[in-house]
């Protein structure tokens, strides 16, 4: 009310005020239009049909003034809100019925956007636009034949020569995923043409290469659910739909209610949409496999889970995927949106959980950060405390049952999720049901899983709490209580050559000595190993490193921060002790012998030492594959350290790259200014050519280090695996041991997790390491990986 009064007052005021008001108004109206359009189809007191009718009239009235804006908003909705696609196609249909040119202009704009997306490789957006265009046939905006023509053009890509399969896949996928919407129309109006199209697709599907599939599988067996390639699965679903005369029960089609209005509308013909031709820079989406966890026997009575080849399964999963995509930044909104998805007689909880796990386990990488899945599942539990926790518990049981055949990467993600989930539920779990693991070898997947879960739980809690949470029978799997190990303080330490120096050093550090003073204390130590053996290698000094590093870590053992403070204060000493790679590896060994029982401490300390460049990435890789780490080689924290190391290296390269790019840009800008005769201000720093050259040199060094790091890692993998295979062969035993499973899948893990980088070096890898003379089992991993982009 007060607003109105203010309005009426201002009527009498001078017109500067009213001019100001006038200027802001269009923005308001545009915002209003946007809000109206984006919100239609949400829950409302009136029916969707009347809302749509009303909105169409509002928009029609505003078209003369805000046409471009309205079109743009609608095109935005096509890609941003595809979960409401049919609402928007209906709206466009209604607008087209009222205003034929407007419909035409919308189609034109959408086609322009589509072509742009195809060119720039925004495949998911393109797919949404194709689907939208297809659905416009149902609203009498487009002629069926012209959409069919677009489909034909897309499917023709399958006949191109010398293209990667992923290219034709993406075009076929766009067509197939649009068919549930438009199949019926095409079937009624253009049956023969549709059949011809499907024949081409069929021929393509049957001749596809599927080398990549093993690299993407979550499970190594097809029991109880086969893991189909995404395109194969969708094709089976589409074939099913076809045999049901293209009738499905899932899509809400508001345009049906407006049939009488829409059928009078004039239809448009699509302009030709030719897929842009292939070039080597184009990156196509990596194929997927379809993850299945539940079937109809797993869900409660009264609900029906659509079969894995029912089109409804695809449609619901796609919808859930899209809801997640829209809301993945807000777990609470996401959970609420997921649960309010309207389905009849369907076990929605189960389908949500299945899709969430499917995304979490997706290889090479989950679409969103892993924590999102955990936190959203907790929100789902809170919103439906009576059913969701049970579904999750059931899922956990099933996943555990199948863990023997689960890929290591997925086991690791499952460990992370399960420990996180437990930490939010007071670490309660029916551990007794899993007591089979207590009698297993620790290398067996189930036992390893439980152990790693407990280890991870410890990071969320503390040792004693975890000990109290599990039954007494689980003691064999319980991690040791984390504590630092300091040999110079133990009984019998007197005979060690370093004990004296260690004790002197300890009191000096306690007396707050300087780094120099600490270095003085080490000077006299002989070049021996801590156990008294002589060291013939003069490039490093094991005794000095051992005395210094173990004493320092022992004194800082109170907390992470104390350890960091210790490392920071004596940074110069560490740096000078670890000049060579051998010295760095030895230093890492000392860290490990001190903190063997505290994995998280290991992870953060190595991270710190990498960050401060006390140790190099290569040294970490070599240390991990060294003999001293053999005992823990399959432990998950080791791989956490290795992946952290690769990530650090990548970050370094990227940073140097962006520095070089930035400097280049600035120099170019300055040159341009100079050429234009403009003044250059002395305070914007313009780098000189020399400076850039130096930066480029640094970048080059970093890039070659990165390449080297990958070469070291892969070479070491090949060495340990070859050795294992040879040993098994000569002993005549099966090579496929638990150890082999962990290690070969860790190799895949490196490939997949860093796939974008590894693809850069694929030719080097092929010519240097993965040559035809290595064992086929190892080579296969490489070939499967290469197939992901071919």
Residues binding other proteins (CB under 8 A): 1-5, 7-9, 11, 15, 18, 22, 25, 29, 31-32, 34-36, 38-40, 44-46, 50-51, 54-55, 57-58, 61, 65, 332-333, 378, 381-382, 385-386, 388-390, 392-393, 424-426, 428-431, 462, 464-465, 468, 509-510, 512, 555-556, 558, 562, 565-566, 568-569
Q: What is the torsion angle, in degrees rounded to the nearest 10, for the CA atoms of residue 635, residue 639, residue 641 and residue 646?
A: 170
Q: Say which DSSP state 572 is in.
A: H
Tokens matching residue 254? 């508001």
CB of 394 to other proteins, least distance (A): 8
Minimum CB distance to other proteins smaller for 54 or for 300: 54
**What 3-state class would DSSP assign to 219?**
strand
Tokens matching residue 78? 């096509």
CB of 4 to other proteins, least distance (A): 5
Minimum CB distance to other proteins smaller for 395 or for 543: 395
Minimum CB distance to other proteins smaller for 28 or for 202: 28
Q: CA-CA distance, 353 to 293, in Å (whole number)?
A: 9
Minimum CB distance to other proteins smaller for 186 or for 381: 381
CB of 738 to other proteins, least distance (A): 28
CB of 608 to other proteins, least distance (A): 14
CB of 44 to other proteins, least distance (A): 5
Q: CA-CA distance, 473 to 431, in Å (whole number)?
A: 10
CB of 330 to other proteins, least distance (A): 9
Minimum CB distance to other proteins smaller for 296 or for 462: 462
Minimum CB distance to other proteins smaller for 421 or for 746: 421
Tokens matching residue 386? 């009576």
Provide the β-strand partners of residue 145: none
CB of 32 to other proteins, least distance (A): 7
| Residue 553 backbone dihedrals phi, psi, to 5 degrees | -65, -35
CB of 676 to other proteins, least distance (A): 38
Minimum CB distance to other proteins smaller for 376 or for 753: 376
Q: CA-CA distance, 84 to 99, in Å (whole number)?
A: 23
Minimum CB distance to other proteins smaller for 192 or for 561: 561
Minimum CB distance to other proteins smaller for 36 or for 251: 36
H helices present in 40-82, as ranges: 48-80
Cα 578 to Cα 62, 523, 549, 770: the distances in Å are: 72, 15, 11, 33
Minimum CB distance to other proteins smaller for 114 or for 567: 567
- Looking from the CA of 504 toward its CB, the CA atoms found within 13 Å total 13
CB of 299 to other proteins, least distance (A): 17
CB of 389 to other proteins, least distance (A): 4
For the chain, the maximum distance between any two Cα atoms, rounded to a whole number of angstroms, is 101
Minimum CB distance to other proteins smaller for 80 or for 105: 80
User: N- to C-terminal Cα distance for the chain?
Assistant: 65
Minimum CB distance to other proteins smaller for 39 or for 647: 39
Question: Which residues, in sequence order, are CB contacts of 487 under 8 Å at separation 6+?
Answer: 493, 496, 530, 550, 593
CB of 566 to other proteins, least distance (A): 5
Cα 561 to Cα 554, 564, 566, 567, 641: the distances in Å are: 13, 5, 9, 10, 19
Q: Report, in angstroms and rounded to the nearest whole number, the Rg of the chain calculated over CA atoms.
A: 32
- Looking from the CA of 378 toward its CB, the CA atoms found within 13 Å total 16
CB of 480 to other proteins, least distance (A): 16
CB of 23 to other proteins, least distance (A): 12
Within 47-203, strands assigned E span none
CA proximity to 182, closest of 128, 125, 136: 136
H helices present in 190-212, as ranges: 191-207
Minimum CB distance to other proteins smaller for 315 or for 501: 501
Q: CA-CA distance, 181 to 173, in Å (whole number)?
A: 14
CB of 64 to other proteins, least distance (A): 9
- Looking from the CA of 78 toward its CB, the CA atoms found within 13 Å total 31
Cα angle at 462 between 435 and 394, to 5 degrees? Answer: 40
DSSP 655-673: HHHHHHHHHHHHHHHHHHH
Minimum CB distance to other proteins smaller for 82 or for 556: 556
**What 3-state class would DSSP assign to 534?**
strand
Question: Which residues, in sequence order, are CB contacts of 695 under 8 Å at separation 6+?
Answer: 656, 659, 660, 663, 687
Q: Say which DSSP state 434 is in.
A: G
CB of 451 to other proteins, least distance (A): 19
Minimum CB distance to other proteins smaller for 34 or for 124: 34
Identify whether the C-beta of residue 174 lies closer than 8 Å to the C-beta of residue 206: no
Minimum CB distance to other proteins smaller for 215 or for 352: 352
Identify whether the C-beta of residue 720 lies closer than 8 Å to the C-beta of residue 625: yes
Minimum CB distance to other proteins smaller for 39 or for 608: 39
Identify whether the C-beta of residue 437 lies closer than 8 Å to the C-beta of residue 476: no
Q: Does 362 sit behind a cis peptide bond, omega within 30 degrees of 0 on the bond before it?
A: no
Minimum CB distance to other proteins smaller for 574 or for 699: 574
Provide the β-strand partners of residue 289: 229
Q: Which residues of 535-569 are buried (b: 16+ CB within 10 A; e: fewer)?
A: beeeebbbbbbbbbbbbbbbbbbeeeeebeebbeb
CB of 79 to other proteins, least distance (A): 16
CA proximity to 38, closest of 87, 5, 3, 4: 87
CB of 564 to other proteins, least distance (A): 9
Q: CA-CA distance, 747 to 777, in Å (whole number)?
A: 11
CB of 233 to other proteins, least distance (A): 31
């Amino acid at each position: 009310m007060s607003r109105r009064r203010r309005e009426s007052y201002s009527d009498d005021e001078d017109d500067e005020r009213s001019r100001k008001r006038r200027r802001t108004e269009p923005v308001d109206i545009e915002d209003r239009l946007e809000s109206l359009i984006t919100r239609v189809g949400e829950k409302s007191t009136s029916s969707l049909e009347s809302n749509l009718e009303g909105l169409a009239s509002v928009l029609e009235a505003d078209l003369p003034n805000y046409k471009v804006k309205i079109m743009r908003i609608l095109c935005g909705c096509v890609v941003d809100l595809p979960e409401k696609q049919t609402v928007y196609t209906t709206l466009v249909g209604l607008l087209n019925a009222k205003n034929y040119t407007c419909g035409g202009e919308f189609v034109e704009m959408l086609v322009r956007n589509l072509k742009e997306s195809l060119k720039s490789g925004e495949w998911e957006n393109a797919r949404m636009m194709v689907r939208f265009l297809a659905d416009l046939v149902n609203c009498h905006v487009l002629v069926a034949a012209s959409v069919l023509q677009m489909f034909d053009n897309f499917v023709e890509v399958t006949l191109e020569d010398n293209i990667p399969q992923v290219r034709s896949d993406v075009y076929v996928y766009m067509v197939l995923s649009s068919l549930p919407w438009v199949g019926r129309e095409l079937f009624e109006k253009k049956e023969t043409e549709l059949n011809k199209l499907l024949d081409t697709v069929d021929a393509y599907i049957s001749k596809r290469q599927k080398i990549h599939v093993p690299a993407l599988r979550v499970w190594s067996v097809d029991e109880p659910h086969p893991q189909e390639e995404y395109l194969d699965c969708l094709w089976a679903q589409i074939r099913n739909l076809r045999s049901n005369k293209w009738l499905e029960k899932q899509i809400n089609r508001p345009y049906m209610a407006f049939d009488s209005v829409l059928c009078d509308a004039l239809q448009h013909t699509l302009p030709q949409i030719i897929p842009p031709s292939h070039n080597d820079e184009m990156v196509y989406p990596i194929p997927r496999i379809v993850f299945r966890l539940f079937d109809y026997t797993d869900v409660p009575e009264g609900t029906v889970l659509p079969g894995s080849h029912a089109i409804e399964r695809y449609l619901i999963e796609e919808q859930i995927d899209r809801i997640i995509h829209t809301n993945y930044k807000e777990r609470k909104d996401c959970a609420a949106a997921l649960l309010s998805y309207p389905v009849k007689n369907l076990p929605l909880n189960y389908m949500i959980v299945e899709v969430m796990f499917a995304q979490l386990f997706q290889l090479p990488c989950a679409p969103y950060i892993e924590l999102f899945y955990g936190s959203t599942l907790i929100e789902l539990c809170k919103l439906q405390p009576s059913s969701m926790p049970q579904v999750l518990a059931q899922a956990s049981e099933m996943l555990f049952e199948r863990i023997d055949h689960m890929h290591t990467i997925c086991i690791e993600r499952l460990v992370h999720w399960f420990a996180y989930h437990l930490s939010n539920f007071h670490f309660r779990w029916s551990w007794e049901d899993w007591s089979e693991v207590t009698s297993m070898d620790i290398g067996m997947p189930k036992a390893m899983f439980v152990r790693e879960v407990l280890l991870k739980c410890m990071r969320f809690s503390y040792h004693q709490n975890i000990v109290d949470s599990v039954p007494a029978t689980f003691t064999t799997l319980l991690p040791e209580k984390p504590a630092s190990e300091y040999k110079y303080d133990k009984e019998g330490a007197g005979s060690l050559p370093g004990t004296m120096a260690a004790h002197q050093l300890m009191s000096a550090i306690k007396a707050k000595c300087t780094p120099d003073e600490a270095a003085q204390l080490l000077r006299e130590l002989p070049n021996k190993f801590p156990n008294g053996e002589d060291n013939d290698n003069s490039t490093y000094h094991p005794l000095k490193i051992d005395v210094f590093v173990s004493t320092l870590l022992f004194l800082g053992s109170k907390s992470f921060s104390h350890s960091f403070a210790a490392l920071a204060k004596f940074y110069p000493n560490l740096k000078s002790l670890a000049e060579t790679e051998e010295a760095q590896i030895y230093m890492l060994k000392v860290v490990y012998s001190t903190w063997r029982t505290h994995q998280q401490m290991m992870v953060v300390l190595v991270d710190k030492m990498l960050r401060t460049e006390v140790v190099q990435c290569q040294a970490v890789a070599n240390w991990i594959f060294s003999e001293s780490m053999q005992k823990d080689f399959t432990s998950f924290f080791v791989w956490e350290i290795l992946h952290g190391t690769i990530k650090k290296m990548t970050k370094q390269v990227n940073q140097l790259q962006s520095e070089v790019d930035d400097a280049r840009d600035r120099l170019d800008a300055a040159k341009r200014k100079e050429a234009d005769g403009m003044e250059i201000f002395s305070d914007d720093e313009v780098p000189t050519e020399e400076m850039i050259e130096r930066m480029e040199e640094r970048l080059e060094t970093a890039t070659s280090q990165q390449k080297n790091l990958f070469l070291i890692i892969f070479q070491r993998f090949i060495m340990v695996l070859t050795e294992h295979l040879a040993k098994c062969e000569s002993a005549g035993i099966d090579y496929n041991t638990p150890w082999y499973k962990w290690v070969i899948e860790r190799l895949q893990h490196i490939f997949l997790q860093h796939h974008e980088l590894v693809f850069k070096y694929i030719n080097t890898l092929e010519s240097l390491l993965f040559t035809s003379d290595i064992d086929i089992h190892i080579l296969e991993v490489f070939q499967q990986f290469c197939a992901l982009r071919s």
